[in-house]
Amino acid sequence: MKPRYRRKDLNPRQRRHLRIRTRIKGTPERPRLAIFRSLRYISAQVIDDTSGRVLASVTTAGKSMDIAGGRANVAAAKQVGQALAEAAKAKNIERVVFDRSGYKFHGRVKALADAAREAGLEF
């Protein structure tokens, strides 16, 4: 089956993400914690790649998150990490594989990961 895109049509972050995804797979025992950050929002999902299901998801885009000071800063990323860890633990998920999606492990990405670790997720 042919891919729907050509590699040269992708931006550098998307190319890095594809390269990372060849090595990182989420299993039912250890699902993948994937993040996405934009200029406006940050979101994170816990995904089981074998069945293709999203097990838990948190984003700053919805009205359910009570965020003071902005929806795309380090404080918001910390809240997303804590909320995702709580949602994952409610579904008996303790260990995950971290997928930074081609972003540098710095700033908001690092804040989300550290908050999820402090809240009890192991990766």
What is the per-residue pLDDT across 10-27, written as a single tens digit (0 to 9) for each? 899 999 999 999 999 999
Contacts of 80 (CB under 8 A, 6+ apart): 42, 43, 44, 58, 59, 60, 65, 112, 115
Tell me: the pLDDT tens digits for 32-60?
999 999 999 999 999 999 999 999 999 99
**Residues paired with residue 34 on neighbouring β-strands, in sequence order:** 45, 99
- Per-residue pLDDT reduced to its tens digit, 66-96: 777 788 899 999 999 999 999 999 999 999 9
pTM of the full predicted structure?
0.89
Instruction: Please name the CATH architecture into which domain 28-118 falls.
Output: 2-Layer Sandwich (3.30)
Contacts of 47 (CB under 8 A, 6+ apart): 26, 31, 32, 33, 34, 53, 54, 55
Domain ranges of the chain: 28-118
